[in-house]
Structure 1
Amino acid sequence: MLETMKDRIMEAYGSLLAGRDPRVKDYLLMESPVNMSAILLGYLFFVLYAGPKFMANRKPFQLKEAMIVYNLSLVALSVYIVYEFLMSGWLTGYTWRCDPCDYSDSPQGLRMARVAWLFLFSKFIELMDTVFFVLRKKDGQITFLHIFHHSFMPWTWWWGVSYAPGGMGSFHAMINSCVHVIMYFYYGLSAAGPRFQKFLWWKKYMTAIQLIQFVLVSLHATQWYFMESCDYQVPLFLHLIWMYGTFFFILFSNFWYQAYVKGKRLPKDTQQLAQNGKANGSTSRSNGVSNGHSAHENGIRNGKKHHENGKVLNGKIKKA
């Protein structure tokens, strides 16, 4: 029975992989879902367990130069990805409505397949975001939203690139790359040091830009439900993209509410100053009350003592 079940599982797995686009099979990480899944599991193991344990008794690493290079490199890569998406179809023939995937070996079709893979590969590079947080002991930045987004996105996009590298399913990849141009530019300036802080007044709008991204992605996918006919080859991906956009819109909206409405994500130095102010104020008040009370008690005791001494001395003088 176990052998039969194993055979059926392997048969289903083989059938699943047989339907992949042969043009992308030779790209890095595309030979099997096992390798990319292992990388993502290793990522989760590091950021949730091994990394924090390694850093527990160590000082945060100073990675300023590395982070500047990393973030600005991702800006350049994201700009290139956006350009390639536009030139591969979105400005050269796509209708921005029902656009099927081109599986041909035409220069245009191959170019779109290549940039779809490059977008996927950039998601694995971006796992370094969390690695930097761990090594710098920025634990407050490692939220459920952050980890889920960085692990779920590359895993799902591997399947997207494997079966439909292009067409209307690639819209959200292009929009996501546009957002990352802005986002990693912000991170690059932030890593450059305090002298650039005055240029980062637009931090809160980063989340707003991401929310707009998810609205656009969901609206674009929603078109499919109202079309009389559409020959996009893998409708399942459109369902997933719509759910992805809606789900992340909810998560990022909650982040916006917690961070900017309830103010739960103030910078640590601001929080520390506020806490110190409260603590110092409370200490000063308690010290004042305590010192005043002590002085008052000391005054009463000293007065009583002087009074008693006066009575004794006066009595002795009279007796003498």
Structure 2
Amino acid sequence: MSGIFSFMDGYRHFMKTYTDPRTADWFLSGKLGHLVVILVSYVYFCTKAGPRYMKDRKPYELKTVIQIYNLIQVFASMYLVYEGIMGGWLHEYTFSCQPVIPGEKGMRMARAVWVYFMCKLVELLDTVFFVLRKKYNQVSYLHLYHHTLMPICAWIGVSFLPGGHGTLLGVINSFIHVIMYTYYFLSSLGPEFQKFLWWKKHVTILQMIQFCIIFYHNFQVLFRECSYPKFINFLLATQAAYFLYLFGCFYVNQYMKSQKKKRNQQLANEATHVASNGKLKDNGEVKANGDVTNGYVKSNEELENGSAKQNGYVENKAKVN
């Protein structure tokens, strides 16, 4: 028991020493226990309780709810991009090294960091909606890991570093979310809009570009003097690299291997269709109500009774694909 009390005393001392006093009293800021309860409940619901609850139920439609949710995310992300740029990255912040600006001067960025943290918590609903709609294939390791880790990173930011170097991540991520949730909103409007949404895979490409920028932005500062915690730079750089790997694997499986599989399946279906209307010779030529020579189909007149020719050879000019 003494060890537990000692740990708690050390935790309280750490939080009192390093928590930014400007944000210490803000909702959920500096309250690690609250965050842990939220994230543990989230993972448990999405992996255990939710699927168990939905087992004998029909999927909820939630169309209107999701449309409103997506629009809120679009406007919230637009606000964060604007605040992040105007609050520092357009004028005062530097790419190579940016300490946290203390006092009232940095309050605009601090407020943006807190809003970003709230958005990361609200985004947990993405997975909840998947579960309630029984779209369990969407609840992947990548999805759960991403949605669990981002609130932790945002909590560290709002509690200890509400501004500075790490906020570029929030600006870029919010910009990606403007595009991503716009896509989700348009997709939810129905098939008449979905047929124009050809740019889904490009959102994944933008996400991978995002991780490349974040990795370089935090990795390069490790080798220079900068009044920003190197541990946070290291954490952000390694996580950006890991996310790049995870999203890269997703892109290959979703848009490269699956497309190749679809093409192979289409070719197999075409071959089956052709074979069902004729004979497939050993040398690869096809008899389809006639004979195939050099890619052209001879007419049935040549094959009447198996060998008869009437008035010479007649060739059909339609090539067999």
* Aligned residue number for residue 39 of structure 2: 40
Q: Which one has a bigger Cα radius of gyration? A: 1
Which amino acid is 1:211 matched to? Answer: M
Q: Distance in 2 between matches of 1:220 and 1:92?
A: 18
Q: Distance in 1 between matches of 2:227 and 2:146?
A: 30
Deviation string 1:105-138 (CA, Å, 9 cap, x unpaired) is: 23xx111111011101100010010011011111
Deviation at 1:7, TM superposition (A): 2.7
Task: Provide structure 2 residue ranges, at least 5 long, that are not aligned to the other structure.
Answer: 277-321
- Partner SS for 1:167: coil
Count of residues paired in the alignment: 270
Say which structure is richer in strand: 2
| Pairing of 1:102-121 with structure 2 (within 5 A) | 102-106=101-105, 109-121=106-118
Change (3 A) 1:75 1:265: farther
Deviation at 1:60, TM superposition (A): 0.8
- Partner SS for 1:87: helix
Which amino acid is 1:250 matched to? Answer: Y
Deviation string 1:46-67 (CA, Å, 9 cap, x unpaired) is: 1011111111111111111111
Deviation at 1:37, TM superposition (A): 1.1
* Aligned residue number for residue 313 of structure 2: none
* Aligned residue number for residue 224 of structure 1: 221
Q: Which of the numbers 154, 159, 165 marks the counterpart of 1:162?
A: 159
* Aligned residue number for residue 147 of structure 1: 144
Say which structure is richer in helix: 1
Q: Distance in 1 between matches of 2:95 and 2:79?
A: 20
Are positions 1:254 and 2:254 aligned together? no
Are positions 1:236 and 2:231 aligned together? yes
* Aligned residue number for residue 52 of structure 1: 51
Which amino acid is 1:13 matched to? Answer: Y
Are positions 1:77 and 2:76 aligned together? yes
TM score, norm. by length of structure 2: 0.79
Q: Percent identity?
A: 42
Deviation at 1:6, TM superposition (A): 2.0
* Aligned residue number for residue 179 of structure 1: 176
Deviation at 1:257, TM superposition (A): 1.1
Runs of 4+ in 1 over 6 A off after TM superposition: none
Are positions 1:27 and 2:26 aligned together? yes
* Aligned residue number for residue 316 of structure 2: none
Deviation string 1:126-168 (CA, Å, 9 cap, x unpaired) is: 0010011011111111100000100111023212221111111
Preserved CA contact (<8 Å) 2:222 2:233: no
Q: Distance in 1 between matches of 2:25 and 2:78?
A: 25
User: What root-mean-square deviation, in Å, do the aligned CA atoms of Structure 1 and Structure 2 show?
Assistant: 2.3
Task: Provide structure 1 residue ranges, at least 5 long, that are not aligned to the other structure.
Answer: 286-320
TM score, norm. by length of structure 1: 0.79
Q: Distance in 1 between matches of 2:60 and 2:5?
A: 49
Q: Distance in 2 between matches of 1:202 and 1:189?
A: 12
- Partner SS for 2:166: helix
Which amino acid is 1:253 matched to? Answer: G
- Partner SS for 2:170: helix
Change (3 A) 1:249 1:62: same
Which amino acid is 1:230 matched to? Answer: C
Deviation string 1:153-210 (CA, Å, 9 cap, x unpaired) is: 1023212221111111111111111100000000001111111012211111111111
Deviation at 1:14, TM superposition (A): 1.1
Preserved CA contact (<8 Å) 1:98 1:230: yes
Which amino acid is 1:9 matched to? Answer: F
Preserved CA contact (<8 Å) 1:259 1:265: no
